[in-house]
Structure 1
Amino acid sequence: MGIIKNKVEQGALLPIYLFSLTPADGVVHIPTLDVTYFQPKIDFSVYDYLILTSKQAIEALKHYPKEEYIHIPALCISKATANAYRALGGEVLEEAKGYGDSLVEYVQKFPKTIKWLYLRASVVASDFVSILQEEGFRVDQEVVYATQCSKAIAQAKIPSNAVLIFTSPSSVECFLVHHSFEQTHKAIVIGKTTAKLLENIIPYKMPKNPTIKACISLAKELL
């Protein structure tokens, strides 16, 4: 936090506060979560496709022998997640619209005989798996990581003129544990699932594309 504070004092950064796991240039990055990874026993050979909804799921994959999973195409929730899986050497089946509920329509395109493996966090915001299972789709889940609110977000000093970017439901939840919105704050959410947590709390804007880059571009327009 000391480094962030010094940059702000020097005027190097705009009053845009990015609440996310990954940083970005030109804004104040507040790490939202501390992540713990698990390694449950998984027989990847029985699955046709993976479902990946975060970069952390891809980090969790790195705890397994690469040859066990890298040949399995993945349905990715967003372009950022898809790029992370490609960088690992994996094949992307499709890119969804950036929020969990949108995954339903993509899985529905495939036969119900297909076996899917969803690599997930211990707590998730979307119930898309239950919806698909009730329709007869074969979707298994494995919890490969857990998150908790970071010390950084608790210690953050948020100025009254800040534009706040929230990149996940948990980023909103952790912010509200330690802070409250001021009338002068402006909020940006990365997607519809995150937006649900700000309804009736503060007005917000959402970019056309569910990426951090698009959120930052929109934030600059609000300054």
Structure 2
Amino acid sequence: MSRQIYLFSTSSHPKATCINSLNIRYLNPSIDFTKYDYLIITSKQAIKALEQYDKKDFIHLRALCVSAKTAMEYKSIGGSIVTAKEGYGDGLLEKIEEFSKETKWLYLRAQTVASNFAQVAKKNDYKIDEKILYVSECSEEILNLHVQKSATLIFTSPSSVECFLKTHTITSDLKVIVIGKTTAKSIPKNIEYQISEETSIESCIELALEV
């Protein structure tokens, strides 16, 4: 008998039960885009939040994106990218360090973030301003979820792990798959897990179906 697969993500997949872990509340801080050379974008929610602003004010700014998927989202609204880096914090920091320390970056972020790459870069005298564009809150859907025994749990962000653990325990009969190393850091140390070969939902699903 195949395992029930729970996918904790804002995206869906036909072979999994998709659970949206977070409710997103968008903010609208004042931003003077003329002060910056590039944007740093680490989520599609940040791109969604940009829709609150006049596109002509920011669309000329190329973006350093956390992944190919985020880059595609920015391109879909007419933007262009510096590059898309996999691996989250480490990859973004490495790319920022390729630029002059006089380069002015604007990091569009959530209230709570998993990586401290911006703080590390700023300590090394890189010019990065941060604007909080949205707040993520655990959804009732994940908090009240009834998980079947011997299921597979796919976590696609640190926040999805944290929200799940607010009202659930990861028991030994559950198989845990995470989308990358940053998400893996949120898994309790006594819990076994597997990391998908690629940082994509499809790769996670492929790993889940191997059981």
Does the 8 A contact of 1:48 with 1:116 survive in 2?
yes
Higher helix share: 1
Aligned length: 211
In structure 2, the partner of 1:168 is 157
Structure 1 length as normaliser, TM-score? 0.91
In structure 2, the partner of 1:86 is 75
Deviation at 1:100, TM superposition (A): 2.5
* Aligned-partner SS, 2:93: helix
Query: Aligned ranges for residues 189-204 of structure 1 at < 5 Å?
Result: 189-204=178-193
Does the 8 A contact of 2:3 with 2:152 survive in 1?
no
Q: 1:68 aligns with which of 57, 66, 78?
A: 57
Does the 8 A contact of 1:112 with 1:136 survive in 2?
yes
Deviation at 1:213, TM superposition (A): 1.6
Does the 8 A contact of 2:41 with 2:64 survive in 1?
yes
Does the 8 A contact of 1:14 with 1:26 survive in 2?
no
In structure 2, the partner of 1:56 is 45
1:40 aligns with 2:14: no
In structure 1, the partner of 2:141 is 152
The separation in 2 between residues aligned to 1:101 and 1:148, in whole angstroms, is 26
In structure 1, the partner of 2:88 is 99
* Aligned-partner SS, 1:58: helix
Deviation at 1:25, TM superposition (A): 2.3
RMSD: 1.5
In structure 2, the partner of 1:30 is 19
* Aligned-partner SS, 1:145: strand
Deviation at 1:103, TM superposition (A): 1.2
Structure 2 length as normaliser, TM-score? 0.95
Unmatched tracts of structure 1, length 5 or more: 1-10
- 1:16-60: CA deviations, max 9, x gaps? 100112222221000100000001010111111110111101111
Q: Give the counterpart letter for 1:90 in structure 2.
A: G
In structure 2, the partner of 1:20 is 9
The separation in 2 between residues aligned to 1:17 and 1:89, in whole angstroms, is 34
Deviation at 1:201, TM superposition (A): 3.1
Unmatched tracts of structure 2, length 5 or more: none
Deviation at 1:14, TM superposition (A): 6.2
Does the 8 A contact of 1:99 with 1:193 survive in 2?
yes
The separation in 1 between residues aligned to 2:94 and 2:176, in whole angstroms, is 29
- 1:162-215: CA deviations, max 9, x gaps? 111101100000000011111111111111111011141311111221111211
Deviation at 1:61, TM superposition (A): 0.6
In structure 1, the partner of 2:208 is 219
**Pair 157,120 (structure 1): closer, same or farther in 2 beyond 3 Å:** same
